[in-house]
Amino acid sequence: MRGVESLRSLGLLLAQHPREFSARVAGYADLGLQRLFGDPPTYETVRWQSALGDAEVHLGGVAEILDEPALKETEESTRRLLADIRHEDTFVPHWAADSVLARCCYLACRLIEPEVVVETGVAYGASSAFILRALEVNGRGTLHSVDLPPLRRDYQRYWGIAVPEDLRDRWNLYRGTSADVLPQILEKTRTVDLFVHDSLHTRRNMRREFDTIWPFLRRGGVLLADDVERNRAFGELRQKGPALWRVVEDRETAPLQGRAAPVVFGVAVK
């Protein structure tokens, strides 16, 4: 059923958004090639607790932030929302950011108090909700999110559904590929304090996003990237000489949805 639905959605996309259609097909091809011929890296990894120690040294105290009621409320409301829509015909259910990366997004925003946050990959908007809640607590900052909307006929019902109405003032959601939209955002903002990659996890796409963002990321700015174990792009970022580069590998204890899952994501500080 889902295959038929995807084919129908692809047909509609071809008719209404031909550029998105070709990007989607190219993305599938890239993913397929990576699965067949990719040469996944073996990174030295650290546990979440150890990464928190690094964050403390480079960015400041973390314990109080992780205890903030706003973080707990966001976790609870996101968990409730994802449970409520679980039985509906939505996007790929495991697409929402895992609970550890979501906390890390909140933590990074509270630590560096960014003016400009850019993220790629929205779907339900779980990571967007954590970022926007932290910006609200900070009382400043804007989130620019880029997403090629998921291939569902009724995607608009679920697109960014995790972001509450009262947090949307600080949110600019752009439709399109990161290849097309990131340069347009950077032309306006000229600088980025925090970047979060959670779109298409192919080497080509991740490398392009990192290469595009890095010159605009301010010194001390933070780059977070989900699922970095899938290809070598995050390892290649070391050639740019980040002040801190870590791959976090752990297991969730309090998942936002379903069962606790393994977690791998990258953290770099410029």
Contact positions toward ligand SAM, by CB under 6 A?
23, 27, 95-97, 120-127, 146-148, 150, 177-178, 198-200, 205
CB of 219 to ligand SAM, least distance (A): 26
Q: Which is nearer to ligand SAM, 58 or 208 (CB)?
A: 208
Q: Please state whether beta strands 217-226 and 262-269 pair in parallel, antiparallel, or not at all (unpaired).
A: antiparallel
Q: Which two tokens stand for residue 196?
A: 């979060």
CB of 109 to ligand SAM, least distance (A): 14
CB of 138 to ligand SAM, least distance (A): 20
CB of 175 to ligand SAM, least distance (A): 9
**E strand or H helix that includes residue 15:** helix 2-16
User: Alpha-carbon distance 121 to 52, whole Å?
Assistant: 24
Q: Which is nearer to ligand SAM, 81 or 247 (CB)?
A: 81
User: Alpha-carbon distance 50 to 261, whole Å?
Assistant: 19
Q: Which is nearer to ligand SAM, 51 or 97 (CB)?
A: 97
Contacts of 174 (CB under 8 A, 6+ apart): 144, 145, 146, 147, 181, 184, 185
Residues in the chain: 270
Q: Which is nearer to ligand SAM, 127 or 231 (CB)?
A: 127
CA distances in angstroms from 199 to 9, 165, 229, listed in the order given: 19, 23, 14
Residue of this chain nearest to ligand SAM (CB atom): 97
CB of 8 to ligand SAM, least distance (A): 16
Q: Which is nearer to ligand SAM, 58 or 255 (CB)?
A: 255
Q: Which is nearer to ligand SAM, 61 or 181 (CB)?
A: 181
218 Cα distance to chain centroid? 19
Per the CB < 8 A criterion, the answer to whether 162 and 129 are in contact is yes
CB of 205 to ligand SAM, least distance (A): 6
- DSSP label at 85? T
Cα distance from N-terminal residue to C-terminal residue, the chain: 45
